[in-house]
Amino acid sequence: MTDPAYLRPRELDEALAARAAHPDWMVLAGGTDLMVNANHRAAPAGILDLWRLPATCFVRVADDAIAIGAGTTWHDVLRHPAIRERLAPLAAAAREIGALQIQARATLGGNVATSSPVGDSLPVLLALDAELEVASVRGHRRVPYHAWCTGYRTTQLAADELIVCAHVPVPGPTTRTAWRKVGTRRAQSISKVMAAAAITLDGDTVVSARVALGAVADRPIRASAVEAAVRGQRLGVAAEAARAAVRAAIQPIDDVRSTARYRRDVAENLVARFFSVS
């Protein structure tokens, strides 16, 4: 058995060419998912090492959106002043991904590509209505994150594509954001339930909301029934409407970590809390 090939591209074009030529190669950046129990897994045919590829490591701040490169680690995210100030839930999520050692390696691109039902940043990307930019030798395209997940750990990413960055709109001054992860313990934990929201208010009244839930389905979901139920409601009343809508909208499962009943109860609580009078 021969060792896998290994390539560390310096430019995006080089990476894309390799991706197109070798769709069976593992695209590896931080490795915090792909390297789990690596000593017991068959080596891939090749390794395309995108760790710190400059074309994917950036944070570009514009007035209305922040573009975050796919190779940006969660450590970079949670320390970036503009992200902390203007995309607070993303920084908050980053801080609760694993712990220090994981945050130093795990990347936004990795979280998005793996697309685990318990991916910690994914409900935030949904709630903030992010857009992904992906590239291949055929060119670049943009995919709204809400269309990205097509099934359990399945995404729109084509076999020859790489994720370049996420364009995350900055919520306006009348939009408040919220996020909470409930995991198995205080740190280094897998989510049992996650909720994220961007709520546009006129005074006390909900003009519109984007509400996303994680760990309650095979992918992160927008709770459109909740969003409809709270429109035009005042905070407080909206909380009760949201709670009822969440109950009807999700069918979480029992699994090794938790129960369907618990996930439903907590999802209701988290979402209702978002719409409470603070």
Partner 1 sequence: MRLVVEVNGAPRTVECSPWKRLLDVLRDELRLTGTKEGCGEGECGACTVLLDGEAVNSCLVAIGQCDGRGVVTVEGLARGELHAVQRALVACGGAQCGICTPGIAVCAAHIVDSGLVDAADGGRSARDRVRELLAGNICRCTGYQLIVDAVIEAAREVLAR
Partner 2 sequence: MERPGSLVGTSVPRVDGVAKVTGRALYLDDLDAPGAWFGQTVRSQVCHGVLEAVELDPAFDWSQVVVVTSADIWGKNLIALIEDDQPALAPIGGRVMHRDEAVALVAAPTRALAFAAARAVRPRIAERPAVLDVADALAVTQPLYGTTNVFKQLWIRKGHASDAELEAAFAGAAQVIEGCYSTSPQEQMYIEPQAMMAEWRDGRCHIVGSMQCPYYVHKAMKALLACEGDGVVIAQSVTGGGFGGKEEYPSMLAAHVALLAHKARRAVKIVYDRDEDIAATTKRHPCRTTHRLAVDARGELLAIDIDVVMDGGAYLTLSPVVLSRGVLHAAGPYRCPIVRVRGRVVATNYPPHGAFRGFGAPQTTFAYERQIQKLARLRGEDPLALRKRLALGVGDTTATGQRLDASVGSAEVLAAIEAVAGTPPVARGTSSRGAPVRRGRGVCFYFHGAGFTGSGEQRLAGRATVAAVDGRFEVRSSSSDMGQGSITIFTQLAAGALGVDPAHIVVVEPSTARVPDSGPTVASRTAMVVGGLVARAAAAVREQLEAWAAGHGLTGSLVELARAHAAVVRAELVETIGYEPPPGIEWDDATYTGSAYPVYGWGACLVDVEVDLDSYEVAITRCVQAIDVGKALNPVIVRGQIEGGTLQALGWAVLENVVYKDGKVWNASMTNCIVPTFADAPDLETILVEVPYPFGPSGAKGVGEIPMDGPAAAVANAVEDALGCAFDSLPISPEAIAAARGRWDPA
Binding site for partner 1 (CB under 8 A): 3-4, 6, 8, 28, 30-32, 35-40, 43-44, 47, 49, 51, 75, 98-102, 104-105, 186-188
273 lies in the binding site for partner 2 (CB under 8 A): yes
Residue window 98-117: x/- pattern of binding to partner 2, with contact defined by CB under 8 A: -x------------------
Cα–Cα distance, 56 to 32 (Å, whole number)? 18
By CB under 8 A, name the one of 114, 136, 188, 208 that touches partner 2: 188
Give the one entry of partner 2, partner 1, none that residue 175 binds, where binding means its C-beta sits below a cut-off of 5 to 8 angstroms depending on kind.
Answer: none
Our CB check for partner 1 shows the closer of 183 and 252 to be 183
Q: Measure CA of the first residue to CA of the last residue in the chain; give whole Å.
A: 62
**How near is the Cβ of 270 to partner 2 at its closest, in Å?**
6
Give the one entry of partner 2, partner 1, none that residue 259 binds, where binding means its C-beta sits below a cut-off of 5 to 8 angstroms depending on kind.
Answer: partner 2
Q: Could you tell me which of 196, 134, 212, 137 has the C-alpha nearest to residue 166? A: 134
Stretch that binds partner 2, among 74-82, 161-169, 210-218, 268-276 (CB under 8 A): 268-276
Q: How far is CA 234 from CA 202, 203, 204, 210, 277, in A?
A: 9, 9, 6, 16, 9
Cα–Cα distance, 47 to 50 (Å, whole number)? 9
Our CB check for partner 2 shows the closer of 70 and 197 to be 197
Give the one entry of partner 2, partner 1, none that residue 8 binds, where binding means its C-beta sits below a cut-off of 5 to 8 angstroms depending on kind.
Answer: partner 1
Calculate the CA 152 to chain-centre distance. 14
**How near is the Cβ of 66 to partner 1 at its closest, in Å?**
23
Is 222 within 8 Å of 146 (Cβ atoms)?
yes
**How near is the Cβ of 180 to partner 1 at its closest, in Å?**
17
220 is written with which tokens? 């992160």
Tally Cβ neighbours within 10 Å of residue 161: 23
In the structure, how many helices (H) and strands (E) does the chain have?
Answer: 11, 14
DSSP-assigned beta bridge partners for residue 257: none
**How near is the Cβ of 188 to partner 2 at its closest, in Å?**
5
Tell me if residue 44 falls in helix, strand or coil.
coil
Give the one entry of partner 2, partner 1, none that residue 31 binds, where binding means its C-beta sits below a cut-off of 5 to 8 angstroms depending on kind.
Answer: partner 1
261 lies in the binding site for partner 2 (CB under 8 A): yes
Tally Cβ neighbours within 10 Å of residue 247: 14
Calculate the CA 251 to chain-centre distance. 21
Residue ranges in contact with partner 2 by CB under 8 A: 39-40, 99, 180, 182, 184-190, 192-193, 256-259, 261-262, 265-266, 269-270, 273, 278
